[in-house]
Structure 1
Amino acid sequence: MTVLNARTKTGPGFTELEPRWGARGTARATIAAGLVFENVSHAYDGNVSVSDLSLEVAPGEVLCLLGHSGCGKTTLMRIAAGVEQQLSGRVLINGREVSGPKGFVPPEKRGVGLMFQDYALFPHMSILDNVVFGLRDLDRQTAEREALALLERVGLNGYAQDYPHALSGGEQQRVALARAIAPRPSVLLMDEPFSGLDRRLRDNVRDETMTILRETRATCIIVTHDPEEAMRMGDKIALMRRGRLVQHGTSAELYSNPADVFAAKFFSELNELEGIVTSAGIETAIGMLPSGDWPVGSRLSVCIRPHGLLPEVADAKPAIGRISNRRFVGEMDLLTIIVEGLNQALHARIRPGSGLEAGMDVALDTDPQDVLIFDAENAH
C-alpha cells in the first residue's frame, strides 16, 4: 500500500495538509460512449429550462457546460443521466435512444455516472462502503478490492474505514470521484465538482481529477459557471443562456470568435463603444477603426478587451482621454480612462513601468486582435 503523508497541523492557523494523490496511470479505463442531445426541450411548471437544444459529445471527449446560474446546465445534465425527462426531443448514447419517443431507459441501465455538487456521500457508511455502493454487480470481495484500488489512486486508501464527516472538503470530493468512476461508466456527468473547495485546494484537486478522467477515457460533461475553469478542463465548451445553446466549440474558438457580445463578455472584460461605418472606417468615440467588410451606414457594437486598449502619452498624437486612476496589481497596471462623450470609463491593462500616471492626457490606439465587432441590433 502507498504510504500517505499524515495530517499535520502547521502554523498559527493549523492548516491541514491533504493526503497525496496515488500513482498516476493506475485508474482503469472504460469504453467511452458518444452522447447526443437532439432538439431537447424541458420546463419546470411551465417555465422553460431547456429550449430546442441540440449538442453532440464525442466518445472520450470532455465537454464543459458553461453559463450563469439558472441557464439550464444542470437540467441538461440530469436529462442525460435520466434523473429528469425532457418534454420533447431525444437523448442518444452510442446511437441508442435512451430517452425520447421510442422509450425511456432508467438511469441505472444507461452506463452513466453522476457526481453531484455537494458530493452526496452517505454519512452512515464508511468511505470504503461509499465507493463499494456503486459496484452492486460484483461480489463483496471483488467490489472491495476494486474500491480500495480506486481509493489508493485518489490517495485515500488509508482512510477507508473513516466516515465522510471526518474528511475535509477536498477529501470528500476525492471519495465522490472514486465512487462515480468505480462502475467504469461510459459517460460521466459532474455538476460543479470544485465549487465547494477553497482556492488553495481547487487548482490541485482539479488538475488531479482531470488526470484521472483522462486515464479512465470516459466521455465527460462538467457543469461550471467559471469560464477559466471551462477553458482549462474542456476539450470543447458549450455556452448556454436561458436554456439555449449560444455557442459550441473549443476554448480558442469561443474566445477568438465569440458568437455575440454575451459570449465575448463571458471570457473577458470588455470596453463597449458604439460605432457607425463611414467611408473612412468605423467612427467611434476614440477615433477611426478599420471597417473590414461592414457596409457604410452600419451601426456596430465595438468591443475592446482591456489589454487591447493601448494608451500612450499624448505628445505627437492628439489626446483622446485622461487617466483618472492607476492601480498596480502585480504583473499589470490597471488604468481607468475618461473619454469625453462616453458615459462609462474605459479600462486598460498595461505592463508596469510605462510612466503613465493618474491625471495624464493620453492618446489611444488598439490591438486589432483584441477588437471584436458586432452588428448593434443583434449583438446581445
Structure 2
Amino acid sequence: MAKIILEAIRISKSFDKPILSKINLKIKEGETHVVMGKSGEGKSTLLKILAGLTATDSGEVLFEGKELENPEEVLVAGHEELAYVAQNFNLLHNRTVLENLKDSLLAFNDDFAEQQINQLLQLMRLTEVKFHKIELLSGGEKQRLAIARALATQPAVLLLDEPFTQLDFPTRQILLDAIKEVKNELDTSIILVSHNLYEAFYLADIIHILKNGDIIKSDQPKTVYDNPEFISVANILGEVNLIPKRTLGNGQNELLGVWSENILIDSEDESKYQLKLKLTEKLFIGNYYRYQFQLSRNQSLIVKSNQSEFKVGETYNVVFPESHLFELKED
C-alpha cells in the first residue's frame, strides 16, 4: 500500500481577506492530484504552501511525516524533494535547452547528470531541440523544459501551476502525455492546478474542488463526475442542466442535475423521466451538435449529441436516463 508522502493539516492563509481555511489534504506516493476551482479561489496559493514556498497562517505541511520549515525563517524557501513549476517557466535565457538542464544538475556527478539529461530530453520530447536557445522555443517547448528542469534532481513531488495555459490542443496533448509518462516511469507524485475538465480527467487519480477557501469535494474523477453533489462543483466540471424534480413530475424543491451529453433525443430508452420539448437552437461544434430546448419560460435545456437530423422549431421527446440523474444542493 502506497504511503502518504505529502500532507496538509488544517492549513489556513489570508492576505487582504481569507484565502484558505483549514485545508486538509493527503498525497500518496505515485498519485496525481488535480486542484480545480474558479479564479481567485486560492489554488496557486495552496500549491505554493504545499511546495514550502509560502508560509501558512496556521496549520502545517508534512513531507514524509516531517513538518516543512517555515519559508519565512530559512535562507532559501522550498524543499529539495518538492519541485514547483510556476507559470512563468523560470528558465535561463540566452542558453540552450541542454545548458538549462546541465545547470539544474551542477551538484551531481557527470555520469548521473548525463543519464538524467538523456532521460528527460526523451520524456519531455525535447531531444530535437536540445541545442536550441530558449528564445527560439515555442511556448509548449518552454513549458516542457521547465518541467524537465524541475525533475532533474528526481524530486518526490512535482507541483505544476496551470501548466497548459495558452497552449494549443496538439501542444497541450504532447505535454499531457509527457506528464503521464513521468508518473509511470519515475513514480513521481504530481499535484497540478487546472481549470480544464479534459486535463483533469486525463491525468488525475484524485480531483479536489476548491471554493471559498475550502475543499468541498475530493474523489476519483468518475465518482466526482457521476455525483458532483454540489451545484458549484457541477458548474466547474462542465455544462450541467439543473432541473427541478417537479418538472419531471416527481418531488417538490429537490434539484436534479444531468450532463448535457447524457440526455437523449427521440430515444427508445424506457426511463420514466421524459418530456416533450421544442427545439429552439442547433449549433455544430465540431464533434457534436449542441441543441437547445425550451424547458420552461425562463429556462433552456442543453443537449450534446452526434445526431444531426433534429430541426429547430420541431418538438421532440427528450429522455433523461435515470442512471445519469444526480441530486444537487447548494454548498
TM-score normalised per structure 1: 0.76
Structure 2 counterpart of 1:126, which letter? T
Q: Of 63, 77, 80, which residue of structure 1 is paired with 2:33? A: 63
Specify the alignment match of 1:322 in structure 2: 278
1:34 Cα deviation from its structure 2 partner: 0.8
Give the deviation of 1:180 after TM superposition.
Answer: 0.8
Paired residues, what number?
323
Deviations 1:282-307 (A, max 9, x none): x22xx314x5xxxxxx5212223223
C-alpha distance 153-334 of structure 1, shift in aligned 2 (>3 A): closer
Alignment deviations for residues 271-329 of structure 1 (CA, whole Å, 9 cap, x no partner): 22334xxxxxxx22xx314x5xxxxxx5212223223433449xxxx974321223344
**Which residue among 180, 188, 199 is the counterpart of 1:229?**
199
* Corresponding residue of 2:289: 333
Q: Distance in 2 between matches of 1:158 and 1:350?
A: 41
Unpaired runs of at least 5, structure 1 = 1-30, 276-282, 292-297
Q: Which deviations, in whole Å up to 9, do the C-alpha atoms of 1:196-240 show, x marking residues without a partner? A: 321232112211232123211111111111121101001111111
The letter of the residue matching 1:238 is H
Tell me by how many angstroms 1:145 deviates.
5.4
- Alpha-carbon distance between aligned partners in 2 of 1:260 and 1:241, rounded to the nearest angstrom: 11
In structure 1, what is the equivalent of residue 230 of structure 2?
A: 260
Q: 1:162 to 1:34 in 2, by over 3 A?
A: same
Question: Quick check: 1:133 aligned with 2:87?
Answer: no
Given that residues 90 and 99 in structure 1 are in contact (C-alpha distance below 8 angstroms), is that contact kept between their aligned partners in structure 2? no
SS of the equivalent of 1:132 reads helix
Q: CA deviation at 1:95?
A: 0.8
Change in CA separation of 1:370 and 1:152 when aligned onto 2, cut-off 3 Å: closer
Evaluate the alpha carbon distance shift between residue 74 and residue 361 of structure 1 in structure 2; reply closer, same or farther with a 3 A threshold.
same
Q: CA deviation at 1:142?
A: 5.1
Q: Secondary structure at the match of 2:148?
A: helix
- Alignment correspondent of 1:83: 53
Name the CA distance, whole Å, in 1 between partners of 2:183 and 2:279: 48
2:318 matched to 1:364? yes
> Matched residues in 2 for 1:329 and 1:164: separation?
36
Larger Rg over CA atoms? 1
Q: Any gaps of 5 or more consecutive residues in structure 2?
A: 268-273
Matched residue type, 2:14: A
Partner of 2:263: 309
Identity %: 25
Looking at secondary structure, tell me which structure has more helix per residue: 2
- What is the identity, as a one-letter code, of the residue corresponding to 1:132? K
SS in 2 for 1:185: coil
Which sits farther off after the overlay, 79-88 or 358-367? Answer: 358-367
Are residues 128 and 244 of structure 1, via their aligned partners in 2, closer, same or farther at CA, if it must alter by over 3 Å? same
Query: Which whole-Å CA distance do the structure 1 matches of 2:189 and 2:93 have between them?
Result: 29
Matched AA of 1:310: L
